[in-house]
Amino acid sequence: MKFWTHFLFSIVCFLGIMNIAVYINHPVESYFNLESLLLVLLFLFLGSAMPDIDTSSSKVGRKKWFRPLQKITKHRGFFHSLLAGAIFAFILSFVSPKEYALIFLLGYWLHVVLDGLTPKGVALLWPLPFRMKGRRKIGEMEEWFLDLLFIVLIACFIFPFFH
Ligand SMILES: [Zn+2]
């Protein structure tokens, strides 16, 4: 799947969670200023981009400093697992505020789950041999449709915070 589909999906889910939080009266206003929103986007961006450093055919993995890593790992192996996301978020929590490490983890795990809906699947529970797989290949047109759907959902979910 394209990087943008992953990124948009992570924004949809983040805003969905924020809406639920408001619904159950959990204060989330602190996220809705420009600085915090930019940080949220940055950490979602990092989380939803990182799993694909394991393949040279992705936007991020094309960078040449990931080549050595791609030689020792399989695409959609360790980097596309829940454990990898948890490890990187844990490391990140030492250098960034904890809630942003969680937002990174959200982006990471959503990437893994979304890839898990495709026939190639992901090593969700690495190092266990189980692979999460979908049945149908998602074509390019369908992916554009998904992107559009996610953009509409983002508009719907963000509306309550800015009116
Ligand atoms: Zn991926």
Distance 77 CA to ligand 1 centre (A): 10
Question: For residues 147 and 5, is the Cβ–Cβ distance under 8 A?
Answer: yes
Number of domains observed in the structure of the chain: 1
Distance 118 CA to ligand 1 centre (A): 10
Distance 117 CA to ligand 1 centre (A): 11
For the entire predicted model, the pTM comes to: 0.92
Distance 110 CA to ligand 1 centre (A): 10
Asked whether the predicted pLDDT for residue 115 surpasses 90, the reply is yes
Cis ω before 27 (30° cut-off from 0): no
Exposure on the CB side of residue 104, measured as CA atoms within 13 A: 23
Q: What is the mean pLDDT of residues 128-136?
A: 92
Share of the chain above pLDDT 90, in %: 67
Distance 116 CA to ligand 1 centre (A): 9
State the residue range of the domain holding 32.
3-162
Distance 95 CA to ligand 1 centre (A): 25
Length of the chain: 163
Question: For residues 70 and 61, is the Cβ–Cβ distance under 8 A?
Answer: yes
Residue matched to tokens 């809406």: 19
Q: For residue 95, count CB atoms less than 10 angstroms from its CB and return exposed for 0-12, middle for 13-18, buried for 19 or more.
A: exposed
